[in-house]
Structure 1
Amino acid sequence: MSLVATLICNPANPALDSTIVDGALAVLPSPGMAQWLFDEVAVDIPFESPVKGPDDIKAIETRLQRARGDLPIDIVVQPAAFRRKKLFLADMDSTMIGQECIDELADFAGLKAHVSAITERAMRGEIEFEPALRERVALLKDMPVGVVDEVLAKHITPTPGGRELVMTMRANGAYTCLISGGFTLFTRAVAAKIGFQENRANALKVRDGKFTGEVAEPILGRAAKLATLIELRESFDLDEIDTLVTGDGANDLGMIQAAGLGVAYHAKPAVAAAAAARIDYGDLTALLYAQGYRREEFVG
């Protein structure tokens, strides 16, 4: 089976050199010639292996991780064919942006610590997502809707590499969708800024310019994220292998596991352990290197 191992580090902290590459070559079966995607940041190493499934790929990843040691280098091992994906679904909070929007809203009510603790438990999968969302939204009752604009302007920052990721994939024919268990008031703005063609999220109920403390039902959670992946895949007549999904929380795991390449991005431990691939150190351009894009091919 023709496979490729991609070694990636954060471009702000380049850590790759020929010694690391030689160490990887030494533990891979029948390796080919290493191909630099970006000097000191990302490299592809093709190899041939009799592996038959995900467990075998994980075993190879483990060998590469041992060779890597403590260096901040991400490792993605996958079949060499069909690497460039045609459909991209991404979570928003703590993935395409660096914050959790509901936590930032709660900050205006002096409740950030309380709400953040609930968010963390939900994202770790320790409590069910839907009731946890209802509980947090109830705490926003009577907050002016205008606070959202202030949060977006002062507290929300796109994750580095996100626009390059989306615009490069779009330039190569992929369809991109921002899918969030958060709120449309945020996804619309974030999707437009980063370049997504579509966004889906939950709607907060509003009366007289203030939040009612309620979220429109049904809540967009784990099942709806997975259903969106399947719906878009079928609407574009794509195979599973053609899809790329990334997220960080337990409500992302269904769609991550159903993707051709599902990536846990700086994710909660249970999500990172269950995903086919994980990015712990790199920025979002890591998802382009994982598809075999070279730095000079980036757009945006």
Structure 2
Amino acid sequence: MTLSGDDRPGVTSALFTALAGTPATVLDVEQVVVRGHLTLAVLLATDGDDRVRAAALDVAEEPRHEGALQARHRRGPRPCGGRLHVTLLGAPLTPAAVAAVARQVAAQGANIDRIRRISRWPVTTVEVDVSGGDVPSLRRAVATEAGHLGVDVAVSPPAWPAAAAASSSWTSTPRSSRTRSSSLLAAHAGREAEVAAVTERAMRGELDFAQSLHERVAALAGLDVAVLDDVRAAVRLTPGARTLVRTLKRLGFTVALVSGGFLEVVQPLADLLHVDHAHANRLEVRDGRLTGRVLGDVVDRAGKAAALRRFAEAEGLPLSRTVAIGDGANDLDMLDAAGLGIAFNAKPVVREQADASVTVPFLDAVLYLLGIPREEVEEADAADGLDPADSLP
């Protein structure tokens, strides 16, 4: 469906609010405003329900009793203030989600200038250009509604000047995305229950991360170092990790991997992905066996943030030009230090404090928050002779 006419506040909100009561899902949106004239096109997936048509007609035929010049004079000058992007990700993306964001934009006295689709697969993503808005206040306004509506919403300045990226969310295991490499090693040592008990104490707040790590590693004393090969074989890349790194590298980003796990497991993955920097805890080995001790400082919450600063300094970049991706409380300092902190399938406390959140299980969805369309990614992959399936592990 296409709506065209004089631009005025509330058109986008009115349309998607009307559609929210129908069974439609949003596949594509394009909105532009040229010299006060608005064109809004929406592609919907629907079973032909007449409620969709009725909702659209109700908005399109809304009576207006004043011309464009009089309308603009009545509501005053265009909103002043900054410009920002609002990015919505959904699988599916519903009219209710778009309506909620449009309502919050209007409530702040801001204006939607343009909407464009960033991706249709594996999630539907649209980017909304807003004038007159404020990033912190709009981010707070949409955060709660986004959770209720089952979509991800990121509010950011018009362009994140990012040139470096660090992540702790590259990997998972077949058993659980939260399974730690120390747990896999403990299984080989026959002490999995002991390590699980230490992890549980840490989750209850009885141990901090460093204490927990030292106790877990102590349980591995005497283990043959050869079992590290089995652990490495059990680790799988998060879907989309290859595409994310490959695309960022094409764009000239420096990419780093920082982990509270073990470098003996992390480094081979970093090499596989051609990551520029890798930082994790190191296990002490003597005579081919683990001693149960960690070498050097523990890579904890503060250590991850320090690693980000070190990476940025090594590349001659200010922290404002960095992106950090994480999923746990140990990532919070790193997310806060970065120019853009993204919570990926994270705990609620992390999502609440991060600049943006992604809850779909594809790491390359982070690209859409940086304004990189899916089509451009696929075109670049095709030029290199790669198949879209290569993004999966």
Q: Same fold (TM over 0.5)?
A: yes
- Give the AA of the match of 2:208: E
Which ranges of structure 2 fall in alignment gaps of 5 or more residues? Answer: 1-81, 173-178, 382-390
The yes-or-no answer on 1:35 pairing with 2:116 is yes
The yes-or-no answer on 1:210 pairing with 2:285 is no
2:170 matched residue in structure 1: 96
| Alignment: residue pair count | 286
Larger % of strand: which? 2
Query: Alignment RMSD, CA only?
Result: 2.3
- Give the AA of the match of 1:168: T
Alpha-carbon offset, residue 23 of structure 1:
4.5
Alpha-carbon offset, residue 6 of structure 1:
0.8
Distance 2:294 2:189 in 1: 18
The yes-or-no answer on 1:182 pairing with 2:265 is no
Secondary structure at 2:190's aligned position in 1?
A: coil
Which deviates further from its counterpart, 18-27 or 255-264?
A: 18-27
Distance 2:198 2:360 in 1: 25
Q: Which structure ranks higher in relative contact order (CA pairs < 8 Å, sequence separation ≥ 6)?
A: 1
1:132-188 Cα deviation digits (max 9, x unpaired): 1100000001111111111221x2111011111111111101101111121111111
Change (3 A) 1:120 1:6: farther
8 Å CA contact retained: 2:239, 2:361: no
8 Å CA contact retained: 2:324, 2:342: yes
The yes-or-no answer on 1:46 pairing with 2:129 is yes
Distance 1:36 1:126 in 2: 47
Alpha-carbon offset, residue 32 of structure 1:
2.3
8 Å CA contact retained: 1:123, 1:250: no
TM (normalized to structure 1)? 0.86
Out of 98, 122, 146, the position equivalent to 1:65 is 146
1:106 matched residue in structure 2: 186
Query: Based on CA coordinates, which of the two structures has the bigger radius of gyration?
Result: 2
TM (normalized to structure 2)? 0.67
8 Å CA contact retained: 2:101, 2:142: no
Secondary structure at 1:31's aligned position in 2?
A: strand
Out of 110, 116, 132, the position equivalent to 2:212 is 132
Which deviates further from its counterpart, 260-269 or 161-170?
A: 260-269
1:54-89 Cα deviation digits (max 9, x unpaired): 3x14323236527xx443x211111112x2521111
Secondary structure at 2:183's aligned position in 1?
A: helix
Out of 243, 257, 261, the position equivalent to 2:340 is 261
Distance 1:65 1:86 in 2: 28
Distance 2:289 2:269 in 1: 22
Which ranges of structure 1 fall in alignment gaps of 5 or more residues? Answer: none
Distance 2:181 2:111 in 1: 47
8 Å CA contact retained: 1:246, 1:262: yes
- Give the AA of the match of 1:80: P
8 Å CA contact retained: 1:37, 1:44: yes
